[in-house]
Amino acid sequence: MGVPQYKEVRRAYGFDEVSIAPGQVTVNPDQVNIEFSIDSIMFSAPILASAMDAVVSPGFAIEMDKQGGLAVMNLEGVQVKYDDPDEVLAQIVEAPPEEVTALFQRVYAAPVREDLIGARIEEITSNGARCAVSITPANTKRLAPVAVEAGADIVVVQATVTTARHISKSPRGLIFSELLGMIDVPVLVGNCVAFDVALELMETGICGVLVGVGPGATCTTREVTGVGVPQVTATMDCAAAREEYYRRTGRYVPIITDGGIRTGGDLCKAFACGADAVMIGTPLAQSEEAPGKGFNWGMASPHPALPRGTRVEVGVKGSLRQILYGPSSKYDGTQNLLGALEVCMGMVGASDIRDMHEKAEIVLAPSIKTEGKHYQLGLA
Residues 9-68 that bind a second copy (CB under 8 A): 9-28, 30-31
In angstroms, give the least distance from the CB of 269 to a second copy. Answer: 4
Q: Which secondary-structure segment (H or E) carries 202?
A: helix 195-203
Residues 68-87 that bind a second copy (CB under 8 A): none
Instruction: Give how many residues touch a second copy by CB under 8 A.
Output: 131
In angstroms, give the least distance from the CB of 280 to a second copy. Answer: 13
152-163 b/e with 16+ CB inside 10 Å = b? bbbbbbbbbbbe
CB 365 within 8 A of CB 19: yes
Q: Collapse the DSSP code of 70 into the 3-class scheme (helix H, G, I; strand E, B; otherwise coil) and give the result.
A: strand
Closer residue to a second copy (CB): 155 or 239: 239
Residues 6+ apart with CB under 8 A from 209: 188, 189, 190, 192, 198, 201, 202, 238, 241, 242, 253, 254, 255, 256
Q: Collapse the DSSP code of 100 into the 3-class scheme (helix H, G, I; strand E, B; otherwise coil) and give the result.
A: helix
CA 299 and chain centroid, separation: 12
Instruction: Give the integer Cα–Cα distance in Å for 300 and 105.
Output: 10
Instruction: Give the integer Cα–Cα distance in Å for 245 and 197.
Output: 12
Residues 327-366 that bind a second copy (CB under 8 A): 327-333, 336, 339-340, 343-344, 347-349, 351, 361-366
Q: Of the candidates 156, 179, 236, 320, which one interacts with a second copy according to CB under 8 A?
A: 236
In angstroms, give the least distance from the CB of 142 to a second copy. Answer: 17
Catalytic residue among 131, 219, 238, 268: 219
CA angle 127, 130, 134 (to 5 degrees): 120
Closer residue to a second copy (CB): 40 or 370: 370
List the beta bridge partners of residue 211.
192, 257
In angstroms, give the least distance from the CB of 279 to a second copy. Answer: 15
Q: Is 192 annotated in the active site?
A: no
Closer residue to a second copy (CB): 139 or 163: 163
Q: Collapse the DSSP code of 362 into the 3-class scheme (helix H, G, I; strand E, B; otherwise coil) and give the result.
A: strand
* Stretch in the footprint of a second copy (CB under 8 A) among 35-43, 61-69, 157-165, 204-212: 157-165
In angstroms, give the least distance from the CB of 118 to a second copy. Answer: 30
* Stretch in the footprint of a second copy (CB under 8 A) among 64-72, 120-128, 203-211, 264-272: 264-272
End-to-end alpha carbon distance in the chain: 49
Residues 165-204 that bind a second copy (CB under 8 A): 165-169, 192-197, 200
Q: Of the candidates 45, 262, 280, 286, which one interacts with a second copy according to CB under 8 A?
A: 262
Residue type, 188: L
Residues 300-329 that bind a second copy (CB under 8 A): 301, 304-310, 312-314, 326-329
Q: Of the candidates 267, 277, 285, 356, which one interacts with a second copy according to CB under 8 A?
A: 267
In angstroms, give the least distance from the CB of 19 to a second copy. Answer: 4
Q: What are phi and psi of 310, to 5 degrees?
A: -145, -170
Closer residue to a second copy (CB): 181 or 304: 304
Q: What are phi and psi of 43, to 5 degrees?
A: -130, 140
Residues 93-132 that bind a second copy (CB under 8 A): 101-102, 105
Q: Of the candidates 263, 293, 316, 319, which one interacts with a second copy according to CB under 8 A?
A: 263
In angstroms, give the least distance from the CB of 148 to a second copy. Answer: 25
Q: Of the candidates 58, 208, 212, 216, which one interacts with a second copy according to CB under 8 A?
A: 216
Instruction: Give the integer Cα–Cα distance in Å for 163 and 174.
Output: 10
In angstroms, give the least distance from the CB of 195 to a second copy. Answer: 4
Peptide bond into 191 cis (omega under 30): yes
* Stretch in the footprint of a second copy (CB under 8 A) among 46-54, 109-117, 202-210, 211-219: 211-219
Q: Which secondary-structure segment (H or E) carries 236?
A: helix 231-249
CA within 13 Å, CB half, 334: 18
Q: Residue 237 interacts with a second copy (CB under 8 A)?
A: yes
Known catalytic residues are 219
